[in-house]
Chain A
Amino acid sequence: MKLEGEFTFKGPREEVWDLLQDPDVLITALPGAKKMEKTGDDKYEAEMEVKVGPVSGTFSSNIELSDKVEPESYKMVVNGKGKSGFVKGKATICLEEKTQDETLMKYTADLQVGGKLASVGQRLLDTVGKSMARQSLEAMNTALEYQIDPRAKTEYIPPSQAKFAAGVAKDVAGDSMKNPKFWTFIILASAGIAATIWYFTK
């Protein structure tokens, strides 16, 4: 699975850089993250709850940062394993100064996905992957804004699992509009996700 994208943070590059290395922020911003610890220089250990369509489970991951050029770019090697499969791959993150107060992040990731996650979850994997990336970046941006100016209107409230699921459902539905062939299945999947949300929020 290849992920590629851009995101504009509303903050100066150095602050974005720090934010991206702060496990305490990352854990709140990453959907489903249960635990994130710094285990060494540029080494992190994370535990995440992942749900892709009918497949869900806990993944424990090792993340290692390398080729750091502060505050411009770094590389990331991810090795995640869980009962329902594995995710393994590399990512490159570049930060560009757009203006003094805006930073453009460009990211590419090439991930190997295996096990049930790939064999049964394949159809939703791309959309869920992109959705997770988008939502965590948005959450981090909110955190950043709050960090820079705590008096700002938007207070950073880490997104809940239910909110995240709703976000995924929205993204999946958005994709299905472009891809009407699988609409029946997607409606079913969305219904499943909606049921999950209902379960979590009732």
Chain B
Amino acid sequence: MATRYFGQRIRRNEDPRLLTGQALFTDDVNLPNMLHVAFYRSDYAHGKIISINTEEAKKRKGVIGVYTAEDLGDYWQRGPLLVPPPPIKDIVFNERTQVPLAKDKICHAGEAVVMVVAESRYIAEDAVEDLEVDIDPIDAVVDIEKALSDESPLVHDDIAKNMAAHVVQEKGSYSAIRDQADVVISKKFLYDRGTAAAMENRGVVANWDERNQQLTIWDTTQAPIPIRNGLASMLGLSQSQVRVIAPFIGGGFGPKIMMFYPEEVLIPWVSKKLKRPVKWIEDREENFFSTTQERGQVHEAEIAVSSDGKILGVRDVFIHDAGAYAPYGLTVPINSQCTLLGCYHVPNYYSEFTAVFTNKPIVTPYRGAGRQHGVFVMERLLDLAAQKLGITPVEIRSKNFIQQEDFPYNNEIIYQDFSPLIYDSGNYAPALKRAVELIEYDKFIKEEQPRLLKEGKRLGIGIVSYVEGTGIGPYEGARVTVEPSGKINLVTGIGTQGQGHFTSFAQIVSEVLDVPVADVRVVTGDTLEFGWGSGTFASRGAVVAGSACHEAAIAVKKKIKKLASEVLEASEEDLEVGNGKVQVKGVPDASISLGELAARANPLRGAVKPGTEPGLEATSYFGPSRGTTASGVHAIIVSVDPETFLVNIERYIVVHDCGRVINPMILDGQIQGGVAQGIGNAFYEQLCFDENGQLLNASFMDYLIPTSLDVPKIEGDHIETPSPLNPLGVKGAGEAGSIPVGALYAQAIENAFRDCDLEILEIPLSPNRLYELCSQAKECGEK
């Protein structure tokens, strides 16, 4: 199908505003008479609050209010459980969500205990230092493997063995098939914590307008509508009295959809109480403690393979670190459990996990949201099995891919959206073939690698594949309006954090109405403009909100034709919409511009016919039956410095399939950014906690994130296997870049040290860790 706008590399509508510093971010909101907030956060990871003395702080000039949990009265409530446990047989689920301010007990370092409101942030921070908070420390739960033991202290006194959840999902019977296997690989895998480290920290500005009885909130949230709904209910206001604006946001990545952060509950409350605008902007140090994190898991996994390299079954038992509270339910570990199956036909699968509470910051989804753990375990098992069988990583993957004719493919377990894990469509073999071609796999192995080794250079190649469950429900909506100017207004409820929504959504509408993309003004993340929907997460914006935009544009097009047929006295079938006007096919004179038509649809005199609506406007909703599954292959060539163990990326290839592509340039950007975060996760970033739950690297001095020098320009290609589950045939792509990078690094580094028995069973790595692993490995044959 020839398209003018959909699928084109169109420059982003939002960039002029962003690049010239004209875009509104939460911290740009400065209102007259505004107050500022700073929090007292616990230095201890675990402890009982003995006393809080606020006297001195209250006396400080410029301090307006100091609030503890007691001062909140009935407003002090635990946050909602965002995702209830899925309907899985025999599931154990112990609910425990976060509190606005710690009341009796501290459950992680950095937990907010006291809120100070003052005329300036400086005064508020000074007043925080005036507080005397006496906390009696308790031994902390840090090691997730020990958390379940009888001797372990308890994060929550009434939750035995710190068990947040226990889930078993099974397909076929692994135990029955294990004995028939020719090769069984059994290993323990570790995946440690990191933080999203978004460029913009969190922030909330709230303004209660007493005269209008209206509460306006600017919030760096990925889910403005649920925030509005929740706050209205908590504050006893009607939903229409609360307006939540999620303006431009400098990176979301998942942690900004945790609801409700204590600050999101407290800032609006205190604004309403004091009848003044109140602002809180998270600083970087707070971000390391109070914004949610991800990734701690320990897997004991096993793969059973036949001599011809076919997977007979996989068994995986893992422990998941939930952190101090689990407001997001089981989304992350269920993602790990489901994504492990990858692109492969796994006839027998036994997966069991236990989520445990620890005295560490809360875990909620962060780009990949548990998927990388599953991919890491599976891809590593395949690599090890291939090694044992004497076949290449490419061969073992090819042998086990789900074939194109097998779609839709039912994995017979339940996914995070509570639907059965059914892959809607996919075509895995061509993506692998393309990646092999692009990276010149065979040439590298046969010629390049031996030649470079002779020069003393250790280079390795890696190639892994993965799936990404994307675009889950429930629904999103969009409203398309043709304005009298002839330009289009497009409004959707989801928020934007840099994904290019202002362009991708415009392209979808432009394609239907045939207007230039720059003429479509897009509004996102303002509940006053659009009040129905759930939010930006799970790589669902393009799939769910994008489809709603498409449906709304089609509905408007119908209205355009209907009205134009009356005006132009022609049947609808004879009309065509294009170039900003409607005309009778083949009769250029018989036409009317969209703007004029819009003006006619909203007359100042006369009557609107019964049964019709004024204006050229339509609102549509789209809710997919279940998620759509994207996939891809990443390939890498790395060189490892034999002295420093720094890993340099020589080439990085991504062949990606997210169905039909709306804007390849934006997609490339998504993948580039995802890979950058994946690289950080694989080789740079690790949150180090000591045995007392103290985070030891809570600054960018010590927590390393990759820089532009460490992240190469990603090369690649797109394969388009449309999704049958939405009218656009699109699939999500937001998390694709980051998911398989750990597995890829492991394979490539092992390959660079193929003469040693180096085995990489953990992520993140670092030069230090790699040096240690190499020192432990048996003597290298050639150095």
Among listed A12-20, A40-48, A110-118, A134-142, interface-contacting one: A110-118
**A to B CB contacts below 8 Å, 14 in the list:** A54-B701, A83-B129, A86-B43, A114-B43, A114-B109, A114-B692, A115-B109, A116-B43, A118-B690, A118-B695, A118-B696, A119-B695, A119-B698, A122-B702
A47 to B592, CA, bound (A): 83
Given A119-B699, A123-B701, A123-B702, check contact A112 B43 (CB 8 Å).
no
Given A85-B43, A86-B44, A88-B137, check contact A118 B701 (CB 8 Å).
no
Q: CB of A185 within 8 A of chain B? A: yes
Is A119's CB under 8 angstroms from B701's CB? no
A123 to B137, CA, bound (A): 24
Closest B residue to A86 using CB positions = B43
Is A119's CB under 8 angstroms from B288's CB? yes
Is A112's CB under 8 angstroms from B699's CB? no
A116 to B109, CA, bound (A): 10
Residues of A within 8 A of B698 (CB): 119-120
Residues of B within 8 A of A85 (CB): 43
Measured CB to CB, the residues of B under 8 A from A are: 43-45, 109, 129, 137, 285, 288-289, 690, 692, 694-699, 701-702
Is A185's CB under 8 angstroms from B694's CB? no
Residues of B within 8 A of A116 (CB): 43, 285
Residues of B within 8 A of A185 (CB): 701
Is B701's CB under 8 angstroms from A120's CB? yes
Q: Write the nearest CB–CB distance from B339 to chain A, whole angstroms.
A: 32
> Per a CB cutoff under 8 Å, which of B129, B137, B694 touches A118?
B694
Residues of A within 8 A of B137 (CB): 88, 112
Residues of A within 8 A of B288 (CB): 119
Q: Which of A85, A118, A119 gathers the greatest number of chain B CB atoms within 10 Å?
A: A119
Q: Write the nearest CB–CB distance from A120 to chain B, whole angstroms.
A: 5
A124 to B289, CA, bound (A): 21
Is A119's CB under 8 angstroms from B694's CB? yes
Q: Which of A54, A114, A116, A120 gathers the greatest number of chain B CB atoms within 10 Å?
A: A114
Is B702's CB under 8 angstroms from A115's CB? no
A54 to B702, CA, bound (A): 13
Is B697's CB under 8 angstroms from A122's CB? yes
Q: Write the nearest CB–CB distance from B309 to chain A, whole angstroms.
A: 43
A119 to B696, CA, bound (A): 4
Task: Give 10 nearest A-B pairs by CB, closest first.
Answer: A115-B43, A119-B698, A118-B694, A122-B696, A114-B43, A114-B694, A83-B129, A119-B695, A120-B699, A112-B692
Closest A residue to B289 using CB positions = A119
Residues of A within 8 A of B690 (CB): 118
Given A86-B44, A185-B701, check contact A113 B129 (CB 8 Å).
no
Residues of A within 8 A of B702 (CB): 120, 122-123
A121 to B289, CA, bound (A): 16
A-B contacts at CB below 8 angstroms, number: 46
Residues of A within 8 A of B696 (CB): 118-119, 122
Q: Write the nearest CB–CB distance from A66 to chain B, whole angstroms.
A: 19
Q: Write the nearest CB–CB distance from A201 to chain B, whole angstroms.
A: 27
Q: Which of A112-158 contact B (CB under 8 A)?
A: 112-116, 118-120, 122-123
Known interface pairs A85-B43, A118-B690, A118-B695; 17 further A-B residue pairs with C-beta atoms within 8 A, sorted by A's residue number: A54-B701, A86-B43, A112-B694, A114-B43, A114-B45, A114-B694, A115-B109, A115-B694, A116-B285, A118-B696, A119-B289, A120-B285, A120-B701, A120-B702, A122-B696, A122-B697, A122-B702
Closest B residue to A84 using CB positions = B43
Q: Which of A75-121 contact B (CB under 8 A)?
A: 83, 85-86, 88, 112-116, 118-120
Given A83-B129, A85-B43, check contact A113 B694 (CB 8 Å).
yes
Closest A residue to B694 using CB positions = A118
Closest A residue to B110 using CB positions = A119
Q: Which of A83, A86, A118, A185 gathers the greatest number of chain B CB atoms within 10 Å?
A: A118
Q: Write the nearest CB–CB distance from A193 to chain B, whole angstroms.
A: 16
Residues of A within 8 A of B699 (CB): 119-120
Residues of A within 8 A of B109 (CB): 114-115, 119
A115 to B289, CA, bound (A): 11
Residues of A within 8 A of B289 (CB): 119
A113 to B285, CA, bound (A): 17
A116 to B42, CA, bound (A): 10
A113 to B690, CA, bound (A): 10
Closest A residue to B131 using CB positions = A83
A86 to B134, CA, bound (A): 12
A114 to B191, CA, bound (A): 25
Q: Write the nearest CB–CB distance from B113 to chain A, whole angstroms.
A: 13
Residues of B within 8 A of A119 (CB): 109, 285, 288-289, 694-699
Q: Write the nearest CB–CB distance from A124 to chain B, whole angstroms.
A: 10
Closest B residue to A120 using CB positions = B699
Q: Write the nearest CB–CB distance from A145 to chain B, whole angstroms.
A: 39
A183 to B353, CA, bound (A): 43
Residues of A within 8 A of B43 (CB): 85-86, 114-116
A54 to B288, CA, bound (A): 17
Residues of A within 8 A of B129 (CB): 83
Residues of B within 8 A of A112 (CB): 137, 692, 694
Q: Write the nearest CB–CB distance from B238 to chain A, whole angstroms.
A: 43
Closest A residue to B692 using CB positions = A112
Closest B residue to A189 using CB positions = B701
Is B44's CB under 8 angstroms from A114's CB? yes
Q: Write the nearest CB–CB distance from B263 to chain A, whole angstroms.
A: 20
Residues of B within 8 A of A122 (CB): 696-697, 702
A113 to B44, CA, bound (A): 10
Residues of A within 8 A of B45 (CB): 114
